């Protein structure tokens, strides 16, 4: 992608703010994973967009072959540089953890399709080797308990998919951590999210309320564009990798 002078100016401004930050918080939605072949929700080929047209959304890459993209790895670089203090993700694809984000530095707000969670002790466990979806289904909170399905390896409580479905409560721990870090943020960068789904979309507003600079990266309009201090309509992978490059220069 060719970098315009206007884009370069915004990148330099954002890079300087991030490098000078004390508590950078990143927030990601489905848009960060489209470059990995996973459809978003409200884009031209998004899940909800196509369903509204009576069409079936298609994922161009099978789950077995989905891999993190340049945007994911750029966030890992911000983490490893000591700049990104916390990451809040609306995604359930698990690509942030696969890319190298430290588990203690992320709140997967809507869960992770690779993980199961105990309803009693709240511990999480890898789904693979523990849960047989062919035998026991998805294992959602609202799913019936079936004979033979495993219990929590730690406390023997009921385990369910960590994925949060519509109507399910957000796990208390993830919500509390997200609120805490959003309130401390001096720079908050929202990537690939429509910023309309609550309570997740309340995090950038909380950060703004406490004086944070808000950077939004999304090729589509968002519900908080009017609140953005720096706005990028360019692709997430391009913007994030460019930001890391400029941060190393400024």
Q: Where are the domains of the chain?
A: 5-112+168-247, 114-162
For residues 59 and 66, give the distance between their C-alpha atoms in angstroms, rounded to a whole number: 10
Q: Which two tokens stand for residue 98?
A: 């696969």
Task: Reply yes or no on domain 5-112+168-247 having CATH 3.40.50.1220.
Answer: yes
Q: What are phi and psi of 48, to 5 degrees?
A: -70, -35
SS3 at position 143: coil
Residues 6+ apart with CB under 8 A from 16: 250
Q: Which one of the listed residues 23, 72, 96, 110 is annotated catalytic?
A: 110
Q: What is the full per-residue pLDDT of the chain (250 aa) written as tens digits?
A: 778 999 999 999 999 999 999 999 999 999 999 999 887 555 554 444 445 545 565 666 666 678 999 999 999 999 999 999 999 999 999 999 999 999 999 999 999 999 999 999 999 999 999 999 999 999 999 899 999 999 999 999 999 999 998 778 888 899 999 999 999 999 999 999 999 988 989 999 999 999 999 999 999 999 999 999 999 999 999 999 999 999 998 7
For residues 119 and 214, give the distance between their C-alpha atoms in angstroms, rounded to a whole number: 35
Residues 6+ apart with CB under 8 A from 122: 171, 172, 173
**Catalytic (active site) residue 110:** yes
Q: Which two tokens stand for residue 225?
A: 């564009």
Q: Which two tokens stand for residue 159?
A: 């385990």
């Amino acid at each position: 992608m060719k970098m315009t002078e206007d884009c370069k100016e915004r990148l330099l401004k954002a890079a300087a703010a991030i490098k000078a930050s004390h508590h950078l918080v990143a927030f990601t939605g489905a848009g960060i994973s489209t470059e990995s072949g996973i459809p978003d929700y409200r884009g031209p080929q998004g899940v909800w967009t196509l369903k509204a047209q009576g069409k079936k959304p298609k994922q161009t890459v099978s789950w077995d072959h989905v891999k993190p993209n340049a945007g994911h790895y750029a966030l890992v670089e911000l983490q490893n540089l000591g700049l990104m203090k916390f990451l809040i993700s609306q995604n359930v694809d698990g690509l942030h953890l696969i890319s190298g984000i430290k588990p203690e530095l992320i709140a997967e707000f809507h869960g992770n399709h690779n993980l199961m969670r105990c309803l009693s002790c709240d511990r999480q466990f890898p789904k693979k080797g523990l849960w047989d979806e062919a035998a026991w289904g998805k294992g959602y909170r609202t799913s019936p308990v079936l004979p033979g399905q495993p219990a929590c390896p730690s406390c023997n409580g009921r385990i369910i998919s960590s994925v949060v479905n519509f109507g399910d409560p957000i796990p208390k721990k993830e919500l509390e951590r997200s609120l805490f870090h959003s309130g401390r943020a001096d720079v908050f960068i929202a990537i690939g999210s429509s910023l309309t789904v609550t309570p997740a979309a309340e995090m950038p507003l909380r950060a703004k309320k406490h004086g944070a600079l808000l950077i939004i990266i999304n090729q589509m309009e968002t519900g908080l564009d009017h609140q953005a201090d720096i706005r990028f309509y360019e692709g997430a992978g391009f913007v994030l990798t460019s930001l890391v490059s400029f941060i190393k220069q400024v």
